[in-house]
Amino acid sequence: MTPPSLPQSVGRPPGDAYPRRAGVLVLPAAPASVGMARRYVRESLGEWGASQEWCDNAVLVTSELVTNALTHTASERIVCRLRIADGLLHIEVEDQNRGWTLPERRQPEPDDQGGRGLLLVGVLSSDWGVRDSADGSRRIVWAVLPPEGAEPA
């Protein structure tokens, strides 16, 4: 017996211009992982048909979040998640919650070598934040990019 075919709209609410897409990449906590995360985001969004600008913004946000996880935690692995839902791009970078402080936006001096990553994330995202996993063993820094062509909030 042949199973009935499902309607094409399953998994996609009416009026949603974007199919729901998601992906996960587990990385070692090593400097090379920043480049691997960038390639993963670029390739995934390219396969999903995202615009060049959206892709470039997502690559930069992901790069900053992964770099922060590497720099400010003692994690052995980092998990990068992408999800498009309702026209928004959700980016999450999860570490093993071994950092000494919570990520926060800083005001670097003009000559400071670092401290601008979360400023960039804030400019390119419509929202971002930090939360712990349900069991508290992992920390997730997340960002939401506005719909393609829209200005961040």
* pLDDT by 10s per residue, the chain, length 153: 444 433 343 444 444 454 568 999 999 999 999 999 999 999 999 999 999 999 999 999 999 999 988 888 888 999 999 999 888 999 999 998 765 555 555 565 555 455 556 778 888 899 998 888 888 788 899 999 988 766 665
| pLDDT score for 4 | 41
Question: Between 3.40.50.2300, 3.40.50.300, 3.10.180.10, 3.30.565.10, what CATH number should domain 21-145 receive?
Answer: 3.30.565.10
| pLDDT score for 66 | 94
Strands across the sheet containing 139-145: 21-28, 77-85, 88-95, 139-145, 127-132
Tokens of 32: 């090379």
Tell me how far apart the alpha carbons of residues 52 and 148 are, in angstroms, rounded to a whole number. Answer: 10
Let me know: does 42 contact 90? Beta carbons within 8 Å. no
Residue extents of the structural domains in the chain: 21-145
pTM of the model: 0.76
| pLDDT score for 10 | 40
| pLDDT score for 61 | 95
Tokens of 118: 């979360």
